[in-house]
Structure 1
Amino acid sequence: MSHAKARNSSKALPMQLAAKVGSNVSRMEKLGVSRFDLADPYHLALTLGWGQFLLALIGLYLAINGLFALLYFIKPGSVSNLPAYSLVDAFFFSIETLATVGYGNMAPISLYGHVVSAVETFVGTLLTAVMTGLVFVRFSKPKAKILFADKPVLLWRKGRASLMIRIGNGRLHPLHEATVRITSLQTGDSPDGQRFRRSVDLKLARDDMPFFPLTWTLIHEIGPDSPLQDLLLPDSPSLQDSSSRLLVSVVARDPSLGAQVYSTQAYSGVDIAVGMRYVDAISSAPDGSSVADMRLLSSVEPDVEAPGH
């Protein structure tokens, strides 16, 4: 059985994945897997976009009604007041039966008609229950509203480089117990010429925030132990030209939802703004409260301490 599944999966069409990478879109492709796995309809129904989900729902609804309309159509006289060989009337009678409306103008009068209408009523009840559950699950999925700066920045403090990424809380209420990880995905060649990939977590000045109300600047100091240190050497490709990727993942608890929320963002080397710093996005109101302007989350300006300034 496992060999059969493997053979079937190898025939599946390539699946393209799109991941947002800063201001660009990085596309990945998987071979041997299918994007639409009919063997797992629940996952498929939850991962479709709302437009695709509604189109699939309408298509299924029309297909079921069309099937039962054909069953009424091929057996004239099974439904009272149903004109013989009128597919349109049979279709609308099927809609009324599936929805258990029953206006009374038409009704099954033969054993065949009663059996078909009974099966359709059962299918309609089951379809209503399943679709109600799927719509509820899609609406009730907790969603994070974490905002990410368009570009990481690379600046120097006291002669040492630091990589910074600013994130913001897009909700009007604070998030709790927020944790963050930045993973560097790098490619390289081994001594024997083999191409390899590795993922290394970057050490942050702070990777947790018990109370996350406004913005948070993630800081990784590029010291001797940093996996990014070699990219700053004179004889190495610059960080902007390298094939490395930065993946940022944030986990926090949303008290209004009573659930954990997740958000991720990816950056490529060309997204990094070298010698720049973030514009201050937080100001003080006359009453002393802090005001965060999320429109400035991605705004940068030249860093006066950068080499060459």
Structure 2
Amino acid sequence: MAKKTKDPGFGYSSAENVRGVINKDGSSNIIHINRKFKIDDLYTLFISVSWWKFFAFVFLGYTLLNVLFGIVYTLIGIDEITPSTGDTLKDFLNGFFFSAQTLTTVGYGGIAPQGITANIIAAFEAMIGLLSFSFITGLLYGRFSKPKASIRFSDNIIVRDFNGERALMFRLMNSRKTIMIEPEVSVTLAINEEEKETGKYKRSFFALKLEREKIMYLPTIWTIVHVINDKSPLYTYSNEELEKLNAGLYILIQYHEESFGQKVYQTTSYKFKQLVTNVKYAPSSGIDEEGYTILDHEKLSDVEKMD
């Protein structure tokens, strides 16, 4: 008889169309409301956003600062830094490009502040530029040096006959060339079912017992196996019922990463809509003529029919 586990933080309340709280890539799927933003959150924001968003923020901030100071130089009189052209747009562009030179401390020498007001503003802008680029440099270092796992999970989960019983399986591999040292995995099953008495949906959680939860090291691919025996929460479901089951898997894996010299973590999730039955995973590694092991990263999710 399968034993339920305590709520791992997802909540027992549910709905018919409930979404998983963890996305496939391990990111959170929680919508936060009434959350107060603090200045300390900026570091976490810029460290965690995708690269294209990070550089978009940098470009936008750089452009807005130059536009702001370009307007300031135009308003105090462009003659403070260079003779006026008589055209407001051209004067603004001169102020904009002078601002870019001051902010980056490039200083080509073609334009220079003349009056005391322009010198004060340029000195203040140079200070902002130094602080800004120091901040961005720190963020770049933080993004590159932040310990990260780089694990690929199969796109599917399968149920197949296994040693006279059935088993639930999925595969994972390290997308880097380093070897995963002492990888350890834990899997939580969440089943979403309607209560006949109330008509409301509730979630039940089970910690799945795995064939192996920890190994010494992983150079290639690891197939995670949960045997569906009489102690499994999936034992009473047929293969057809499993394919229609409103359930999901939440996976946490941790291991020692050689690149960073410390333990790293990665999470992911599966919905049972990704379940395929009566198939097995196709081989994804082999031996070449010289005796080297060849690992094909494109075959991680490949399956083939059972014999």
Same fold (TM over 0.5): yes
Question: Is the Cα–Cα contact under 8 Å of residues 248 and 266 in structure 1 kept in the other structure?
Answer: yes
* 1:65-105 superposed Cα distances (whole Å, 9 cap, x missing partner): 11112221111266243427511111111111112222333
Among candidates 14, 23, 27, match of residue 19 of structure 1: 23
Seen in structure 2, the aligned counterparts of structure 1 residues 27 and 239 have a Cα distance that, compared at 3 Å, is farther
| TM-score, normalising length: structure 1 | 0.80
The one of the two structures with greater contact order (alpha-carbon pairs below 8 A, sep at least 6) is: 2
Secondary structure of the corresponding residue to residue 23 of structure 2: strand
The verdict on how the C-alpha distance between 1:18 and 1:91 changes in structure 2, with shifts beyond 3 A counting, is: farther
2:296 maps to which of 285, 293, 297: 293
Q: How does 1:127-206 map to 2 (within 5 A)?
A: 127-190=132-195, 192-193=197-198, 194-206=200-212
Q: CA offsets per residue over residues 207-257 of structure 1, 9 Å max, x none?
A: 112211011111111122212223339xxx711101101122221222123
Give the letter for the 1:129 counterpart.
Answer: S
Shift of 1:190: 4.6
Which string of whole-angstrom CA distances, capped at 9 and with x for unpartnered residues, describes residues 183-217 of structure 1? Answer: 11111245752422233221001011221101111
Q: Equivalent residue for 1:264?
A: 267
Match of 2:236 among 221, 230, 241: 230
Q: Equivalents in 2 of 1:242, 1:27: separation in Å?
A: 23
CA separation in 2, counterparts of 1:106 and 1:90? 9
1:179–1:269 CA distance, 2 compared to 1 (3 A):
same
Is the contact between residue 278 and residue 299 of structure 1 (CA under 8 Å) also seen in structure 2?
yes
Matched AA of 1:215: I
- Amino acid aligned to 2:219: P
Alpha carbons of 1:135 and 1:17: their partners in 2 closer, same or farther (altered >3 Å)? farther
SS of match in other structure, 2:215: strand
TM-score normalized with structure 2 length: 0.80
Matches within 5 A, 1:1-309: 19-20=23-24, 30=31, 32=33, 39=39, 40-76=41-77, 79-83=80-84, 86-190=91-195, 192-193=197-198, 194-232=200-238, 238-304=241-307
Task: Give structure 1 stretches of 5+ with no counterpart.
Answer: 1-15, 305-309
Give the corresponding residue for 1:9. none
CA distance in 2, matches of 1:93, 1:141: 36
Verify the 8 A CA contact 1:239 1:269 in the aligned structure 2.
yes
Deviation at 1:42, TM superposition (A): 1.9
| 1:160 counterpart letter in structure 2 | E
| Corresponding residue for residue 6 of structure 2 | none
CA–CA distance in structure 2, aligned partners of residues 147 and 49 of structure 1: 18
The gaps in structure 2 that reach 5 residues or longer are 1-19
Between the aligned partners of 2:205 and 2:34, the Cα distance in structure 1 is 24
Q: Which has the higher strand share?
A: 1
Root mean square deviation of aligned Cα:
2.9
**Alpha-carbon distance, 1:43 to partner:** 2.2
1:64/1:272 CA distance change after superposition, 3 Å: same
| Matched position secondary structure for 1:182 | strand
Give yes or no for contact 2:150–2:176 (8 Å, CA) kept in 1: yes
* Aligned mates of 2:289, 2:117 — CA distance in 1: 79
1:90 to 1:221, Cα distance in 2 relative to 1, 3 A: same
- Cα distance in 2 between the residues matched to 1:282 and 1:106: 63
Specify whether residues 27 and 50 from structure 1 end up closer, same or farther in structure 2 by C-alpha distance, changes over 3 A only.
closer
Distance 1:121 1:166, change over 3 A: same
Structure 1 275/286 Cα, relative in aligned 2: closer, same or farther at 3 Å? same
Structure 1 residue runs of 4+, over 6 Å off? Answer: none
1:166 and 1:102, CA in 2 relative to 1: closer, same or farther beyond 3 A? closer
More moved, 89-98 vs 284-293: 284-293
Q: Is the 8 A contact 1:83 1:89 kept in 2?
A: no
Is the alpha carbon distance of 1:82 and 1:258 closer, same or farther for their aligned partners in structure 2, counting shifts above 3 Å?
A: farther
